[in-house]
Amino acid sequence: MRFNPIPALDQEREQDVFDSVTEEEIIYLWRSIKNRGLSEDDAWQAIVTGLALDMAFAKTKACKQIEH
Protein backbone atom coordinates (compact mmCIF):
# COMPACT_ATOMS: atom_id res chain seq x y z
CA MET A 1 0.00 0.00 0.00
CA ARG A 2 1.45 3.35 -1.00
CA PHE A 3 1.18 6.39 1.21
CA ASN A 4 -0.25 9.48 -0.43
CA PRO A 5 1.19 12.53 1.41
CA ILE A 6 -1.21 15.12 -0.05
CA PRO A 7 -4.32 14.22 2.03
CA ALA A 8 -2.12 13.89 5.11
CA LEU A 9 -0.69 17.37 4.57
CA ASP A 10 -4.16 18.85 4.16
CA GLN A 11 -5.35 17.13 7.32
CA GLU A 12 -2.26 18.29 9.21
CA ARG A 13 -3.05 21.90 8.40
CA GLU A 14 -6.50 21.54 9.90
CA GLN A 15 -5.40 20.21 13.28
CA ASP A 16 -2.37 20.35 15.49
CA VAL A 17 -0.81 16.95 14.94
CA PHE A 18 0.93 16.87 18.30
CA ASP A 19 -2.37 17.21 20.14
CA SER A 20 -3.55 13.93 18.67
CA VAL A 21 -0.44 11.73 19.09
CA THR A 22 -0.98 9.05 21.70
CA GLU A 23 1.51 7.23 23.87
CA GLU A 24 0.51 3.98 22.17
CA GLU A 25 1.36 5.42 18.75
CA ILE A 26 4.79 6.51 19.95
CA ILE A 27 5.48 3.09 21.46
CA TYR A 28 4.33 1.40 18.25
CA LEU A 29 6.65 3.62 16.21
CA TRP A 30 9.54 2.95 18.60
CA ARG A 31 9.04 -0.82 18.32
CA SER A 32 8.78 -0.58 14.55
CA ILE A 33 12.04 1.36 14.27
CA LYS A 34 13.74 -0.93 16.77
CA ASN A 35 12.67 -4.01 14.79
CA ARG A 36 14.43 -2.56 11.73
CA GLY A 37 17.78 -3.08 13.44
CA LEU A 38 18.39 0.00 15.56
CA SER A 39 19.16 -0.26 19.25
CA GLU A 40 16.52 0.80 21.76
CA ASP A 41 18.36 4.07 22.43
CA ASP A 42 18.89 4.83 18.73
CA ALA A 43 15.22 4.15 17.98
CA TRP A 44 14.18 6.49 20.80
CA GLN A 45 16.59 9.20 19.59
CA ALA A 46 15.13 8.90 16.08
CA ILE A 47 11.62 9.50 17.44
CA VAL A 48 12.68 12.42 19.64
CA THR A 49 14.61 14.00 16.79
CA GLY A 50 11.65 13.60 14.45
CA LEU A 51 9.26 15.19 16.94
CA ALA A 52 11.67 18.06 17.59
CA LEU A 53 12.08 18.74 13.88
CA ASP A 54 8.33 18.56 13.30
CA MET A 55 7.73 21.06 16.09
CA ALA A 56 10.56 23.34 14.96
CA PHE A 57 9.26 23.57 11.41
CA ALA A 58 5.52 23.27 12.06
CA LYS A 59 3.25 25.89 10.59
CA THR A 60 0.45 25.99 13.12
CA LYS A 61 -2.30 28.58 13.27
CA ALA A 62 -0.62 30.22 16.26
CA CYS A 63 2.65 30.61 14.35
CA LYS A 64 0.85 32.07 11.34
CA GLN A 65 -0.82 34.68 13.55
CA ILE A 66 2.50 35.72 15.05
CA GLU A 67 4.16 36.01 11.63
CA HIS A 68 1.49 38.36 10.26
What's the whole-model pTM score? 0.54
Count CB-CB contacts under 10 A for residue 38: 14
Q: For residue range 11-59, list pLDDT tens digits in order.
A: 555 555 556 778 899 999 999 999 999 999 999 999 999 888 988 887 7
CA distance 30 to 21: 13
CA distance 45 to 47: 5
The parent domain of residue 61 ranges over 20-67
Split into its structural domains, the chain has a count of 1
Instruction: Classify residue 12: in a domain, yes or no.
Output: no
Instruction: Classify residue 4: in a domain, yes or no.
Output: no
